[in-house]
Structure formats: C-alpha cells, structure tokens
A = this chain, B = another copy of it.
Amino acid sequence: MKFVYAFSEAHTLGKEQLGGKGAGLSAMTALGLPVPPGFTVTTEACRSYHMQRQTPASLWQEVQTALQQLEHQTGKAFGDPKNPLLLSVRSGARFSMPGMMDTILNLGLTDDVVEGLSVLTGDEGFAYDAYRRLIQMFADVVLGISRHHFETALEDLKLSREVQDDLALSGQDLKELVGQYKRIFKRHAGFEFPQSPQFQLQEAILAVFKSWGNRRAVTYRKLHHIPEHLGTAANVQAMVFGNLGENSGTGVGFTRDPITGTPEVFGEFLLNAQGEDVVAGIRTPQPLSELQTHLPEAHQQLLDTAKLLEEHFLDMQDFEFTIEQGKLFMLQTRAGKRSARAAFKIAHDLVKAGKISKADAVSRIDLASLEQLLYPHPVEGHGQKAVLKGLPASPGTASGVVVFSADEAVEVSRTRPCILVTPETSPEDIHGMASARGILTARGGMTSHAAVVARGMGCPAVVGAGDLQVDREAGVLRIHGQQIRAGETITLNGSTGEVFLGSLPLQEGVLEAEAFEVLSWADGLRRLEVRANADTPQDARRARENGAQGIGLCRTEHMFFSEERIPLVRQMILARTAQEELEALRLLQDLQRRDFEAILLAMDGLPVTIRLMDPPLHEFLPQMSDLLVQVTKLSQQRSETNEEEYQEVLELLERVKQLHEVNPMMGLRGARLGITRPSIICMQVHALAQATQNLLNAGHKPRPEIMIPLTGTAEELAYVRQIVEEVLSSHDLHLPIGSMIEVPRACLVSRQLTRSADFLSFGTNDLTQMTYGYSRDDASRFLGTYVEKGLLEFDPFTRLDEAGVGSLIQLAVQDARKERPGIKLGICGEHGGERHSIAFFHRVGLDYVSCSPFRLLAARLSAAQAALKTGHEEAVLA
C-alpha cells in the first residue's frame, strides 16, 4: 500500500484518500494551474496510525522519496542553508472540520538555515520573521504550548520599540525576538527548539494525525454525523511567500458572489502578508477587484483561474492564493459555502448552461439553508447577545411585546405584535397562539404542545427554556437576575433557540423564481408523494400553494378547540341525557360539516385524510387543579348567594375527576374512544358524508379518506371500521378507510390490520413516545441531559430513530405488503418534514410523507434527494 502521493500524480484519487485540500491541490496541478509542488500523505496513513498506535512501517521512507522528488523539482534542498527548501504542512480531511490542526509554515528553518535564508534573500527581517513564526506554530501545534507566551514577547518588543506594526520591526529586532522565542520554547518544552528539519517534518505530520482525535474535532464530528473512522490527510508543500514586499500578497476568493450567486469573482487580499495575517484581522484586507490596480497581471490570471475552476468542478469554488513577487500561486480550492439563495441560483444557472443535470442541481441544495431561507431571520451581524437559550422548536424570528396569557395575546395583538410567554401551552391556548407572533415556553420539548402547534402554524417558537421563570401574577418573567415585564419587547429566533431583549432588524424569507424551478425538478425526481398536515382551509390552501399532493393528516378535534365551540363540546361531553348529547352533537355536526366542505374544496381533486377524534375527552374540559381551587374557595365563602355556583362547580369537578387519567397519553383516546363512545365519531362521519355529497352535487371532486387513530389490534380496527361503514352507507357513500399506526403493537400486527385498512399511516410522534417510553410533554427534563452527555445522538422526536422506531416501521411495512402488496402506506408525524427521516421513509418503501405546510418545500426536496441517493447507490452496486 502506498501512503504518499505527489500532487502531480494524485488527481485520479478521490477525497476519501487525499482529503478535501489534497484533492483540490492535485486537481489544480493537473489543470496546469500554478500550484507550489508538494505531496499528500493519505488518510489511510492516519487511519492506520490511529488503529495501530504507530505510523505504517514504510511511511517515512515514502516521505523521504517524495521529499527528494520535491527537492529535485524546486532545485532546492530541505535543510540546506545555501538554498533552503521550506515546507508547509496542512491537514485536510474529507470534510473540513474546526478543531483540527490547521497549518505549520516555514518548516525546515534552523539556526543555520535562517542565516542562509537571510543571506539568500538579502532580507534579515523576512528570514527571522519566518523563523519566529515557525517556532511559535510548532510549539503551539506539536507541543501544545500556548501562543500567548510568544505573543506577549512580541508585544513587549513592539512596545519597547514604540511601533504598532510587525513590519516596522527591524531585522535585528526580529533576530533578538527569535532568541527570546527559543528561550520561551525551551522553558515550556524542556528541550531546545529542534534543529533537525527531518524531525520538524515528521512531528508536523504526526501532529496532523493526532489532531483527528482532538476533543473539539471529535465533538464536531459527533454533532455533524461525520464518521469517526475517516481520518485526515496531511499535505506537505513547498513554501511560497506573500510577504516578500509590495509585489507580493495573499488572499481568498469565490468564483461567484456567495450571497447572491452572481457569477463574478469575489474576495479580498492583503499585500505583503502571509495567509495567517488575513485571518488574524490586524490589517484590513482590500476587495479583490482592487488587485487590478496593484498587480494587473496577477489579477487577470486570477480571473482566468476562477473561471477554469468553476468549469472544471462545475460548482462555485472558494480558493486561496499567494502572489510571490508578482507570480500567482494557488494554495487551495473547494466548493464554496453559499447562502440558500445563491445555492438555488448557482444550481439553476449550471443546469441552464448545460453544465450539470437537474438531478445534480437538486442533490446539491443544502436543506438546512432552504429552511432558513423560508423564514424571516435577523440581519447578519446584528451584534446583539442572547439573554436566554431554549430549544429551536419552530423556525423563524419574531419580535413583539411580552404577554402572559392567551386572552391577553388576543387583546394586545389587535394593536401591537406580541410574544406569548407561558410555562407551557395547552389546547385552551390555541386562540392566543394564533394571535401571537411568537411563542416562548419554559417547559416542553421539541414535540410539546407548544412546539407542534407552533410548527403547524408556522409561528416561531422557543420552548423548554429552563432558565426562564414565568411569574404570571406579578406579570414578570425572570432570567437569572434579569426581569422582563409584560409589555416590554423581546425577539426570539426559533431557528436557533435564542431570545434577545428589544427588537432585532429582520429580513424576510423569500424564494426566488430559480428556487421554484429547482423544486419543480425535484418533483420529477422523487418517488415519495408529499402531503400536508392541515386542519383548516387556510392551512390547506397554503399547503396547495407549496405543492402538497393532498392532506395526509387533518386533525378534526382541532376544530373543536375554538372559543365559540368549546362550550358545545363540553355540553356534549357532560350531557346527562341522550337528548342533551344529541342536541350538542347535532350543532357540532353542522359546524364540522362546514369545516369539511371548506377543506375539501381547498383541496378539490386531491386526497384529504380525515382523522377521527383522537384526544381524551378531558382535554376539552377545564383543568382539574383550577376547579379544585375554585371549589375550595367557594366552599370557604359558602352562602346562600353562591350555593348554586358552588354546586355547579362541584359537579363539574366530579365529572372532570371521573375523566381524569394518570397517563392520558396511554388512556381513553383514539379508537378506544370511538368504541366506548361511538356517538362522536358517528357525528363526524355523518358531517363528512354530508360535506362530500354537497360538494359532489355542486360538481366538485372531493376525495376524503377516513383515518382511525391509535388502533393496536385488528379487532378494534375492524369494529370501528364497521361503525364508519354503516354511517357511510346511510349516505350511499364508499370512502377509503385506513388506520393511523401509533402504538408499537400496531407495527407488530400490521399484517392483520391490513385486512380492515385501505391505507396505513405511521404517526411517528406517538410511535416514538411509546417505543422509547418518552412522554413528549415530560421528556424535556432529561432529553437535554441525554444529548449533552452523548447518550442520544439526536432528539428522536425531531429525527426518526432508525434503530428502534425505524425497525418497527420497516417490520410493519414488510408484513403489511406481504398481506396486501398494493396497500398505500404513509407517515404523518413530525418526521415527515425532516430530511434524514424522509430518506429513511424512502428507503423502506413508503408511498407518502405528510408534514406541516411550512416544511413542504423541504420535504419535496428531501424526497428527491433521497431518491437520487438510492438511485446512485443502486447504480454503484449494479
């Protein structure tokens, strides 16, 4: 096995072996661009080093051979004071990664060589400055000696010489400084700065390898799901100098504007400087366009190079260069980071120019940035510091005055935008949540009520902000010592979880025409159908605009929570006689029919999956604790005047107690409710049937489907299905009837369920809850700790847990298809809009995903990317 490749022989190898930087350098070399010669030590050497705790036997021999070739090529010799070859060593992994060793420059300098260099260049200052930099970087990177010790010495020297700029120091000054650096080095290292160039080089390469295991790098890989085994390459390259006077310089650039995607070279440079000076930010760089006036030839060469790079890589490039005494050298090239807007623009341009395929364009769009693009976000560089951090529950940014209750939110929102701040939200707060611009809660996780509702409404939300104390009575919220009163303005960023005092300048999320066109290409490439979770006609319309192919989940009970309906719902629940119940049901049926008509109309011609009543009935009643307090108060002030009220509240309390459940999530709800109290679902099916008939009569094409929630046995599904069918047949209707799969058992008996189901839809929120045994209302107490301690790689309510929940889904899909190959299978949980989860759903062969209208665009793109990835993998395997 060969571990070392010269840039000139490596361009057929990929990033896996060369790392990103090495691959870029060898590609540019092959393109005939001016790259300082050098070689790459492959990632394989790094892997081998980490696995066997030593470098491969042949490694140093290969390095020697490559070095000799390099000496031959440059006509210089490593460690030769008369004609010294100086080297840089840089790490370069498959994915760029903060925390890894970056660079050591000027390797090969020793006390002898620096003197030779001084003579050779006639510039003592340059030579000793280079030596000084080497000592400091080597100490830092190889031995972990803080830069601080060296920087203090430099500052002291500048102070004593009364100069501001390093460049103003004389050669003698720098020579003295090197002496001081060497003393500092010895004091901390316990030995003299090594005078063997070979030793310097070996240690630098080893430092690159070791830095793969740095804590920061490990954490970064964990957070970004970069495999641990990849390893990094090390690039050894002949030095070129941008600090050899005013006809030298260094800079970075993009082949396009990374914000807009416009095809014009974009970047900045510094004359008479090395790369690290640009990074350090002591001097202010100039825009690249100004290079033309200083070094017009190099500038033109750079423009030509940029064009060539984009032609070659068929993507926007981010490059680094150095100009040594008028001569341009390219030091790096890679795909450039870009704004979401630019990403679409670039992909679109390249397709239009016939450079890349539509599939390539679609697979290149970074999903996170698309999502970012869709929501208003703070203008970059606003410079404010967050006062609080919670979970980024629903993306987007909102500013408004603080209110503490749903009613207040409704009131205040008439005149001013407001942010609803509560310990947590409940279904009774819906009207307030709909009025507020943003929602902030102290408790709850990524799928708490607040989070789910907020995402569904596209309303920015930060939840589970543990440091937040809400004192509703005093009208104050406290964050550590700080107090914020009702009426004061805050800004929350639901994409990051940050909360700021006052308003922040915002910019709207906009999608340009190019983006829409790229998304339409995505539609042509995906296999998964994309539907929306939508409960209202407004949601349905928005979903349709965003390309939904139907509604995958319409939660009918959400229609009951509105202020004017809840008294009716309570009358139905608390009815003492069949007559009372019937009256309430009749009124509700009429309202529900109208809801259905509007939603079906908005989705005319597309399927609309209506889920029958799911939540436990006590969700519609007042809180038991509120009633308890009320009763206690009334009983203490009991008199003739309030006797009636007391009795009334007491009775209500009794009913609420009867319906109270210890674990409502696993209680009397879903199909169980349909079986023990069928009147409610009968009413719903009647309403749906009437709505359907009315629309059919008016010449429309309603396509309702009925979904029975929370079934866990074939028997209960068959039972409820029969109830539904009887009602439908009284209207002479036949509609598809299916079931929502929300408990693990349903996955285990999916084969039997298919006998009574025309479709099955996985409700992955509840399925995740029960598979893990994590109550989504309570899990925020430990999920944070779990992620922090590395016990969970990610929040399973946000991204589907493939090993657990996923394997249940896979089992269910296989079994269901065994029994009924053509059965329609989908998913309508929160995961329906998340890209890793969508990729999984694609792989296991679901027919559709359904997600919030606001995540539709992302879902369409993800579904296409998943299809492309699978296609690619299949092609590779074939």
Contact = CB atoms under 8 A, between A and B. Distances in A.
B719 A789 contact: yes
Contacts of A777: 661-663
B662 A805 contact: no
Given A624-B625, A662-B665, A666-B773, A675 B745 contact: no
A775 B786 CA distance: 25
Contacts of A807: 748
Contacts of A710: 773
Interface in A625-655: 625, 628-629, 632-633, 636-637
A788 to B, nearest CB: 11
Interface string A740-767: 0011110011001000000000000010
Contacts of A803: 748-749, 752
Contact of A667 (B624, B713, B781): B781
A-B pairs with the 6 shortest C-beta distances? A663-B775, A743-B773, A666-B775, A745-B804, A662-B777, A667-B778
A663 B777 CA distance: 8
Contacts of A667: 775, 778-779, 781
B672 A782 contact: yes
Contact of A675 (B661, B779, B791, B805): B791
Most chain B beta-carbon contacts within 10 A, residue among A769, A789, A791: A791
A664 B664 contact: no
A752 B624 CA distance: 43
30 contacts: A628-B628, A633-B636, A636-B636, A662-B665, A663-B775, A663-B778, A664-B778, A665-B773, A666-B666, A666-B770, A666-B773, A675-B785, A675-B789, A676-B785, A710-B773, A712-B772, A712-B773, A712-B804, A713-B791, A715-B790, A715-B792, A716-B791, A719-B791, A742-B773, A743-B773, A744-B770, A744-B773, A748-B808, A749-B803, A770-B770
Given A663-B775, A666-B773, A744-B808, 13 more contacts: A625-B625, A661-B777, A662-B775, A662-B777, A663-B777, A664-B775, A667-B775, A668-B778, A668-B782, A672-B782, A716-B791, A719-B791, A749-B803
Contacts of A743: 771-773
A749 B715 CA distance: 29
Nearest to A667: B778
Contact of A662 (B716, B772, B778, B792): B778
Most chain B beta-carbon contacts within 10 A, residue among A716, A772, A808: A772
Contact of A773 (B624, B637, B766, B801): B766
A801 to B, nearest CB: 7
Contact of A770 (B632, B773, B789): B773
Contacts of A790: 715
A715 B785 contact: no
Interface of A: 624-625, 628-629, 632-633, 636-637, 661-668, 672, 675-676, 710, 712-713, 715-716, 719, 742-745, 748-749, 752, 766, 769-775, 777-779, 781-782, 785-786, 789-792, 801, 803-805, 807-808
B666 A745 contact: no
B775 A675 contact: no
A770 B770 CA distance: 5
Contacts of A748: 771, 803-804, 807-808
Contacts of A808: 744, 748
A805 B808 CA distance: 13
A777 B661 CA distance: 8
Assembly stoichiometry (copies)? 2
A624 B792 CA distance: 32
Given A719-B789, A790-B715, A801 B666 contact: no
Most chain B beta-carbon contacts within 10 A, residue among A624, A636, A672, A743: A672
Summarize A's interface: helix, strand, loop or mixed: helix
A675 B786 contact: yes
A789 B723 CA distance: 14
A632 to B, nearest CB: 4
B745 A676 contact: no
Contacts of A676: 781-782, 785
Contacts of A771: 743-745, 748, 770
A476 to B, nearest CB: 16
Contacts of A785: 675-676
Contacts of A773: 665-666, 710, 712, 742-745, 766, 770
Contact of A774 (B624, B666, B749): B666
Given A782-B672, A792-B715, A775 B628 contact: no
Nearest to A808: B748
Given A628-B625, A778-B661, A782-B668, A772 B745 contact: yes
A459 B662 CA distance: 24
A120 to B, nearest CB: 58
Contact of A663 (B624, B666, B672): B666
A171 to B, nearest CB: 58
Contacts of A633: 632, 636
Contacts of A625: 624-625, 628
Nearest to A742: B773
Given A713-B792, A789-B675, A781 B665 contact: no
A633 B666 CA distance: 33
B675 A781 contact: no
A855 B239 CA distance: 82
Contacts of A744: 744, 770-771, 773, 804, 808
Contacts of A712: 772-774, 804
Contacts of A749: 803-804
A431 to B, nearest CB: 21
A665 B805 CA distance: 19
A710 B782 CA distance: 14
A766 B781 CA distance: 21
Nearest to A745: B804
A629 B630 CA distance: 9
A692 to B, nearest CB: 29
Most chain B beta-carbon contacts within 10 A, residue among A661, A666, A742: A666
A664 B713 CA distance: 25
A439 to B, nearest CB: 18
Contacts of A779: 666-667
Nearest to A448: B662
A715 to B, nearest CB: 4
Nearest to A805: B745
Nearest to A668: B781
Contact of A664 (B628, B663, B675): B663
A775 B661 contact: yes
Nearest to A784: B676
Contacts of A628: 625, 628-629, 632
A675 B784 CA distance: 12
Contacts of A801: 745
A820 to B, nearest CB: 18
Nearest to A806: B748
B664 A662 contact: yes
Nearest to A670: B773
A675 B782 contact: yes
Contacts of A663: 663-666, 775, 777-778
A760 to B, nearest CB: 16
Nearest to A669: B773
A676 B787 CA distance: 12
A807 B781 CA distance: 32
Contacts of A666: 663, 665-666, 769-770, 773-775, 778-779
Contacts of A789: 675, 719
A660 to B, nearest CB: 9
A633 to B, nearest CB: 6
A710 B775 CA distance: 13
Nearest to A803: B749
A749 B804 CA distance: 7
Contacts of A661: 775, 777-778
A724 to B, nearest CB: 16
A710 B772 CA distance: 9
Nearest to A715: B791
